Amino acid sequence: MFQAFINIFKVPELRNRLLFTIGMLVIYRIGFWIPLPSVNQGALEQYFEKAASASSGSALGAFRDVAQFVSMFTGGSLGQSTLFGLGILPYISAAIIFQLLATVLEPLKNLQKEGPAGRQKIQEYTRYATFGLCLIQSVFYLKYFQSQGLVYPDWNGTFSFWFTGILGMTTGTMFLMWLGEQIDKYGLGNGASLIITAGIVASMPQAVGWVISNFSMTVGADPSKTVSPMKVIFLIAAFVFVTAGTVLITQGQRRIPVQQAKHTRGRRVYGGQRSYLPLRVNHGGVMPIIFASSLMMFPAIIFPWLNTAFGDSVTEFLGEELSMTGGFKFLYVFVYIIMIYFFAYFWTSVQFQPREMAEQLRDHGSFIPGLRPGPRTADYLERVMERITYVGAGFLAVIAVVPTIISSAFGIPFYVSSFLGGTGLLITVSVALDFVQRIEANLLMRNYQGFLSTGDGGKGPRIRGARS
């Protein structure tokens, strides 16, 4: 391990890329604390302290739930009115929109087929869409703070308030987008993912601090101390176990054997090699949880608003039961799991094209043993992907509800238990694996031992996809 760190700094290009990536993330964390000039930060802090104790079915509790969710995977924070308050969410939303549109719109399909030039054009459209989403989201963000009296009286409703607020938040997100692209070009890893991961990891000291401040060797002597040594051991063991399981499923593959046809040219025979086609168990990655969580925000917003407007017992019940926080709620967990399964299959159907894959195998003179090239191969690939997606979606569902169960069972705040599963853990593990594997590839390319070798000169096994 220590030798691998030393090897990184022996390679000038790799060292420069790593330091550049760290520098960009440091700039992001500095900008994270630059406030907007018009919002009263003291009043905002008191507002969120009040929201922390609000019931889940209230409008204030709904805003707290949404703010916690948004800050989890955007790299920003609605609890702090800063230039990076929106985070990188508008850019991610725009990228997902164009990724989905590229599967149904022929002009975008043709652009993708043009190669780097076409992808660069789609990236340009993504930037324009990001700018538009920033304008819309910043208006709603500022309007809500204005309605809650969190704006300085001298700024309230003035042109300067709207101009500086919209300009600051839009510029902040566009700057984050630029930072991510610079990391993609000159650094290591995916820039947007690293920014999100940095925001998630930055909240870990707060969670560890809560455990330390509430720890007691003899629980019961002090009523304010609720964390016993057994709870600490359980939390550490659960974190290690869930992280290991996440790595296993993230790397899990179903390997389909592929046989290359033999070609005879003159007296020589070419081809005939046997390989495999890797199908990921968790093909959708973290996207099904993000989609499901995004839609589950709407009941937490709509029903408390309806309850405030009409005072109906049904809306009050649904607002409480479909809230993202506040303990284990069967209705919320059930609907959440259904949504995860739906989006797991939806995202797989969008990204995985069995007919195109079967045609590519046929065009390259390859086939799956026992199956005729063409439609039979496509049907087989689709059937296999449906089965492994069911397993992958079940894993995502378990990971998604683990924080809620642990938070409710042990009386631990959700921001602490969120490190034992959910969107944040999946993003962090996936980005960390990608980051380490990129460093490993750079080291091996220059005949250096990397992180994932076994200390036998790089000849031992490395992280590979597990067979499902």
What pLDDT does residue 219 have? 58
The per-residue pLDDT for range 164-195, each reduced to its tens digit, is: 889 988 998 999 999 989 998 898 888 888 88
Rounded Cα–Cα distance for residues 338 and 272 (Å): 44
Q: Which two tokens stand for residue 19?
A: 């330091």
3-state secondary structure of 153: coil
Residues 6 or more apart in contact with residue 231 via CB below 8 angstroms? 410, 412
Averaged pLDDT of the chain: 79
Query: Strand 253-260 relative to strand 268-271: parallel, antiparallel, unpaired?
Result: unpaired
Contact residues for 360 (Cβ-Cβ < 8 A; gap 6+): none
pLDDT at 285: 79
| pLDDT at residue 128, as a whole number | 92
- Tell which wins on pLDDT, 58 or 367: 367
pLDDT band at 421 (very low <50, low <70, confident <90, very high): low
Q: Which CATH number fits domain 226-420: 3.30.56.10, 3.30.590.10, 1.10.3370.10, 1.20.1260.10?
A: 1.10.3370.10
Given this model, what pLDDT does residue 458 score?
A: 47
121 vs 403: CA distance, rounded Å: 40
User: Which pLDDT band, with edges at 50, 70 and 90, does 200 fall under?
Assistant: confident
CA distances from 239 to 204, 206, 233, 248, 289 (A): 13, 16, 10, 14, 19
Confidence label for 373 from pLDDT (cuts 50, 70 and 90): confident
Q: Which of 23-27, 116-120, 130-134, 272-276 is predicted least confidently? A: 272-276
Q: Do domains 1-202 and 226-420 have the same CATH topology?
A: yes
Averaging pLDDT over each range in 272-281, 383-392, 441-450, which range is the top one? 383-392
- The arithmetic mean of pLDDT across residues 270-290, rounded, is 80
Tell me, what's the pLDDT at 132? 92
3-state SS class at 35: strand
Is residue 401 a contact partner of residue 420, using CB atoms and an 8 Å limit?
Answer: no
CB 346 within 8 A of CB 435: no
Q: Which of 318-327, 371-380, 459-468 has the highest mean pLDDT?
A: 371-380
Question: What does the domain layout of the chain look like in residue ranges?
Answer: 1-202, 226-420
Residue 64: closest CA among 306, 324, 318: 324
Radius of gyration over every alpha carbon of the chain, rounded to an integer in angstroms: 25
Beta bridge partners of 280: 253
pLDDT of residue 75: 56
Q: Would you state the structure tokens that stand for residue 62, as one six-digit string?
A: 């709904």
Return the sign of the alpha-carbon dihedral for residues 435, 441, 447, 453.
positive
Q: For residues 466 and 280, what is the distance between their CA atoms, to the nearest angstrom?
A: 9
Which residue did the predictor score with more confidence, 313 or 380?
A: 380
Which residues fall within 8 angstroms of residue 411, CB to CB, at 6 or more apart?
Answer: 226
With DSSP H G I counted as helix, E B as strand and the rest as coil, what are the percentages for the chain, rounded to 5? 65, 5, 25
List the one residue out of 432, 430, 465 whose CA is nearest residue 451: 432
Average pLDDT over residues 207-236: 76
- Check residue 286 and give its pLDDT: 78
CB burial class (10 A; 0-12, 13-18, 19+) of residue 464? exposed
Band the pLDDT of 223: cuts 50, 70, 90. low
CATH architecture classification, 1-202? Orthogonal Bundle (1.10)
